[in-house]
Structure 1
Amino acid sequence: MELLDPSQKEVLRFAVSCRVLTLGLQVLTRFLGSSTPIMYWFPAHLLQDQEPLLRCVDTAPRKPLEDNSTPGQKAPRNCLMKLLCNWKSCSPVTKCILVYFLTYWLLGLILHCNFLPWT
């Protein structure tokens, strides 16, 4: 006596293969993302070479902010915020890199909170 008819076997085979593929991709991207800094060095290298906003470096030495600093004194700005605030003047390479990483971050945030597979 057969427990499953042929259509149920196909559905089960398809579900198992999809799960194995999803699991393999998640583990692979986690390993690559956590153990391979080259994935982050390459976009950083492109940004340093292609983006004029990141090339200008202050020649004056920076003074670290202390707890007793004046209330109106601002902390040094983040490079990412500098690029996002000057979006229109960014190079196309910079825009592509920013869109990729921001989209990856936003999709990961939305999908992970909804218990969907995302790495």
Structure 2
Amino acid sequence: MQLGEPSWREVLRFAVFCRSLTLVLQVLTRFLGSSTPVVYWFPAHLLQDWEPLLWPRETMPEKVPVVCSLLGQETLKNPVWGLLCNWRACSGVTRAILSYFLSYWLLGLLLHCNFLPWT
């Protein structure tokens, strides 16, 4: 063995350390994501305060279109579809929240299907 070359024990220790660290991080993020509703309450609170499309009809401005061009429906059962269909009419806060959750979902879908660590 030459000077500066790691032994097989050092390589094994490093591999076990890296795997245990990623395992702990994945388990912690899954526990926090599934058992802490505050993570979802805060964006919901921001959407309720900043998005006129989610307000009752009597307080909603007349300029906002109601029809979803993607689905061809007047009344949508899911408010998220209504926000996505009226993307241009949404506020900046709503766009940021929707972009975060959609990118998290898409990135998680792509990475998980390729057996990469993603929670």
User: Same fold by TM (over 0.5)?
Assistant: yes
Report percent identity of matched pairs: 71
The offset of 1:117, in angstroms, is 1.1
In the other structure, the counterpart of 1:67 is none
User: Separation in 1 of the partners of 2:46 and 2:75?
Assistant: 26
Q: CA deviation at 1:76?
A: 3.7
1:56 aligned residue: 56
Instruction: Give the C-alpha shift of residue 43 in structure 1.
Output: 0.5
**RMSD, aligned CA:** 2.3
Matches within 5 A, 1:36-51: 36-51=36-51
> Secondary structure of 1:21's partner?
helix
Q: Which SS does the other structure have where 1:6 is aligned?
A: coil
User: TM-score normalised to the size of structure 2?
Assistant: 0.73
- Taking CA–CA contacts closer than 8 Å with sequence separation of 6 or more, which of the two structures ends up with the larger relative contact order? 1
Cα offset for 1:112? 1.2
Secondary structure of the residue that 2:77 maps to in structure 1? coil
d(CA) in 1 for partners of 2:13, 2:19: 10
Structure 1 residues without counterparts, runs of 5 or longer:
59-72
Q: CA deviation at 1:9?
A: 4.5
Q: How many residues align?
A: 102
Q: Please give the alpha-carbon distance, in whole angstroms, between the structure 2 residues aligned to 1:22 and 1:74.
A: 46
Change (3 A) 1:27 1:99: same
Q: 2:24 matched to 1:24?
A: yes
* Aligned counterpart, 2:67: none
Normalising by structure 1, report the TM-score.
0.73
Q: Per-residue deviation at 1:15?
A: 2.4
Cα 1:74–1:86 shift into 2, 3 Å: closer
Q: Is the alpha carbon distance of 1:7 and 1:88 closer, same or farther for their aligned partners in structure 2, counting shifts above 3 Å?
A: farther
CA distance 1:92–1:40, shift in 2 (3 Å): same
The equivalent residue for 1:108 is 108
